[in-house]
Structure 1
Amino acid sequence: MKRTNVLTEGAIFVAIYTVFLLITLYVPILSVISIFFLSTPFIIFGIRHGIKQSFVLLLASIVMTFLVGSIVSLPIGLMFSVTGIIMAYFYRQKRQLFALIGGTISLLINFVLDYALSIVFLGVDLFSDVIQQAKSSVKETLAAFPSMDEEMKKTMMEQMNEQFDLLMNLLPSMFVIVSFMLAVIIHILNIGIMKRLKLNVGTITPFRDWKFPKSIIWYYLIATLLMLINLPKESFVNIALYNIVFVLQTVLLIQGFSFIFYFCHVKKLSKAVPVLIVIGTFILPILLYPVRILGIIDLGFNLRGKIR
């Protein structure tokens, strides 16, 4: 009887997964939301029945992915289904933080594999192609202004090319950061569902209480100082330093946002206030700098300890 119930529930979750996959593949407007729910059936099923049963669900979902999509849609299905199973494993152990870490690692591995396979087997370097198209667009835009001084055009083009090349070099750290952000979104969207289904998955430290090790500041300082050394732009060490600094800057930014949430909580301000501040910061990127500095001060001088 129990096995029959598991199979029945598995069939239901495969159907739910298929619906979300269809929306993701064929309804562009809703796909931005539906793609994050591709993990949901695997998370719920995995918590209820364990990781072994989840792999049976995974096999069924692969078949359905082929039927409703194509081989091109398989990487998307695998990325979110495997991530859901890994997160479910830790949720089942009531370790939400490890679920976030596991989800991040799973997404990162999938991103790297998909990127590498697309280059090796399809001969398509998507990120490089986007960068090249952006360079061409900038060049065409500048050419549309014949009255502009040629020397100025050349200088602007060189500056833009440097920025685009920097983006290309930052690809590894961007994979890491995007993977973490996606894992957080999946967690936030599914934690409410799990609570509604009365699944005990433990707790996680509230974002306002997040505090990274103080040593992060020293790592950031050392990496920044090393960047002052005149290294060849395309050298491994230089690219590695750029990525390390970028990741550490993101960590300090998260620390700054955490402090803002903590401050608003202590001062009993509306929960909407810190959320609006975060949104406003990304709308006006210049605000990222003071938030990052806030993160540095909070880590270095325990700023939140001085708030009453």
Structure 2
Amino acid sequence: MPNNQTKALVQGSMTVAIFTILMLISAYVPLIFIVGLLFAPLPITWYSANYKRSSSILVAVVGCILTALTSGIIMLPFAFILALLGIVIGSAINQKKSKLYLFMSSGVAVLLSMAIVYVAYVQFANINIISMSIDLLRENYEQSNELAKTVTGQVVFQQEQIEAMLKPIELTIPATVTITAFMTAFIIITLNLPVLKRLGLDVPKFAPFQNMRLPRSILWYYMIVLCINLFVRPEFGSTLDIIVLNVSSILWMLLILQGISFIHYFISKKEMPNAVKWIATLLALPLSSIMILLGIVDLGFDLRSLVKGKTKE
């Protein structure tokens, strides 16, 4: 038992040191700061996968404190989010959870930690990041207007047009934050799991993106939202309108991913080069409406079985 405790203490110290160094890189090395942030959860994830949760939480807390002391208080929110994510991923690996559980729990962890950071900024520093971002966008539009007026004598956007463009952005912030949180979790998981596997951990393997299949219930949610927009027509800015707008944004994103997944499946079955997948993905992003329709058809009518049957022929 003493040997195990000593080993946990030594490896915990190493974990804290590596985490702090990665956060230092993120704070002071401009060219590779993103790499430092993306791999910062790695040491805590490894430790959490090998030791009990209480020890992992203690290591994460010490890592956050050292980050604040060495990198400045401005890095503390990032350290908190990434350390919590590392604990969640490591605990899921330790408990042999499925890949879906790993992804969902990680996304929720990032979302909750971002919410906690936002509330802390508002309560203790009186800084509203969302309002500041909206004001910054408004200033950019106004500066563009001034520049256009100086060059051409006319403004590009009227004040009413600027407010009309900013209002939907403000209303869809919950959906934007949710999508950002889950995409952040997915990217970090995708990058860190192969490294953890090389370190000897039994990590869950994610199925290829081309085999992604969303639940068909997504179509029912989409139909409900569509019916509300068509028949109820909630007042702009009302609670129902905000809910419908945010749910719609999330559903659109999911259906776009489903559509792109089908394109990857089609290209794979036709044995085209992998480069075609990347080109098709880049071309699909501007064609989001078509991707949504393709995602709906794929979920509703199982286009993959048709492609599979034709491939066999």
1:138 equivalenced with 2:161 (yes/no): no
CA distance in 2, matches of 1:145, 1:64: 48
Aligned to 1:294: 294
CA distance in 2, matches of 1:56, 1:294: 48
Question: Any conservation in 1 of the 2:172–2:245 contact (CA below 8 Å)?
Answer: yes
Aligned to 1:103: 106
Alignment of 1:1-308 (within 5 A): 1-94=3-96, 95-146=98-149, 147=152, 153-154=157-158, 157-228=159-230, 229-282=232-285, 286-307=286-307, 308=311
Q: Tell me which moved more, 32-41 or 129-138.
A: 129-138
Detail structure 1 runs of 4+ shifted over 3 Å in the superposition: 143-150, 279-282
Q: Cα–Cα, structure 1 residues 139 and 255, in superposed 2: closer, same or farther, change >3 Å?
A: same
CA distance in 2, matches of 1:161, 1:14: 46
Name the amino acid aligned to 1:87: I
Q: Per-residue CA shift, 1:235-292, capped at 9, x if unaligned?
A: 111111100100000110111122122222222233343234324444xxx2222222
> How many residue pairs were aligned?
302
Q: Cα–Cα, structure 1 residues 299 and 17, in superposed 2: closer, same or farther, change >3 Å?
A: same
Question: Any conservation in 2 of the 1:297–1:303 contact (CA below 8 Å)?
Answer: yes
- Structure-1-length-normalised TM-score: 0.91
How far the C-alpha of 1:171 sits from its partner, in A, is 0.8
How far the C-alpha of 1:52 sits from its partner, in A, is 2.8
CA-atom RMSD, angstroms? Answer: 2.0
Q: Cα–Cα, structure 1 residues 206 and 12, in superposed 2: closer, same or farther, change >3 Å?
A: same
Q: Per-residue CA shift, 1:179-198, capped at 9, x if unaligned?
A: 11011111111111022123
CA distance in 2, matches of 1:20, 1:272: 33
- Note the residue ranges of structure 1 that are not aligned, 5 or more in a row: none
Question: How much identity, in percent, do the aligned residues show?
Answer: 27
Question: Any conservation in 2 of the 1:93–1:201 contact (CA below 8 Å)?
Answer: no
Question: Any conservation in 1 of the 2:24–2:67 contact (CA below 8 Å)?
Answer: no
Q: Per-residue CA shift, 1:73-108, capped at 9, x if unaligned?
A: 222111111111111111123322211111100000
- Note the residue ranges of structure 2 that are not aligned, 5 or more in a row: none
